[in-house]
Amino acid sequence: MKQKLIVGNWKMNGSLAANAALLQALKQGLPEGGKAGVAVAAPAVYLAQLQAELSGSAIGIGAQDVSQHEQGAFTGEVSAVMLKEFGARYVLVGHSERRQYHGETDAVVAAKAQAALAKGITPIVCVGETLQEREAGQTEAVVKRQLAAVIHQVGACVSELVVAYEPVWAIGTGKTATPEQAQAVHAVLRAQLAAATEHAGRVPLLYGGSMNAANAEQLLAQTDIDGGLVGGASLKAADFLTIVAAAQ
Ligand code: PGA
């Protein structure tokens, strides 16, 4: 079976003390020789802490956003090179909260994915429909449009992406997509990737949106669900470790 990947998205949560306790618990609780890949995406100011606490551990470091620009007069932004200096292996791009609250367009998301790849960081490209779009029967069209922008931008590097399907209506709401609903969209994304690269099978397709200790196993059992992007449940060590265990 293909290796699964579980990524915690801490969002704008944490403190030096809380992070230290959480990371300690994760390091202690991860199974020896576990097969699943594990990473946590923290606020940028905590990347130095992650780098120090996670050195020598199997937990990868992730960031939650990256600038599309290399450097210069972009106050408040953080570049891919800066993230790389602090050990970032992954960066979320196009999370629905960035699209919704920060006006990130498909084009900006694609440029960010490209900026990350150019510096050797794996972008985790987030796509997903709102409830309104789902009810209007637009789910497939929306996720395909979002992914197409990135595929078009990154060209031959498409096989180096991670893609996360996160239905907006399921994020932080406790409403999870059913395994069947999630699998149906993942199959669409896989087919879209397959049209762009012969290596589509190796692009991890993560599901995100109220994944938790109780529902992870069923979601992860679906053919095209290769892992999870976990928000709320990633802040509780026991829950996150249960999800990781379900991915082994
Ligand atoms: P959630 O968030 O697990 O709290 O729904 C997932 C995400 O937004 O990545």
Q: What is the CATH number of the domain that holds 29?
A: 3.20.20.70
Is the separation of the CB atoms in 165 and 131 below 8 Å? no
Closest residue (by CA) to atom 9 of ligand 1?
231
Residue from 62, 9, 59 nearest 38 by CA: 59
Q: Which amino acid is at 53?
A: E
pLDDT value at residue 137? 97
Q: How far apart are CA 97 and CA 200, in angstroms?
A: 27
Structural domain boundaries, residue 107: 5-246
Q: How far apart are CA 212 and CA 235, in angstroms?
A: 11
pLDDT value at residue 1? 64
Residue 73 alpha carbon to ligand 1 centre in Å: 32
Tell me which residues of the chain have a pLDDT lower than 50. none
Category of 114 on φ-ψ map: left (φ > 0), alpha (ψ -120 to 50) or beta: alpha
pLDDT value at residue 32? 85
Q: How many structural domains does the chain have?
A: 1
Residue that has been written with the tokens 């893609």 in this structure: 163
Q: How far apart are CA 36 and CA 214, in angstroms?
A: 18
95 is catalytic: yes
Active-site residue (options: 95, 97, 129, 186): 95
pLDDT value at residue 222? 97
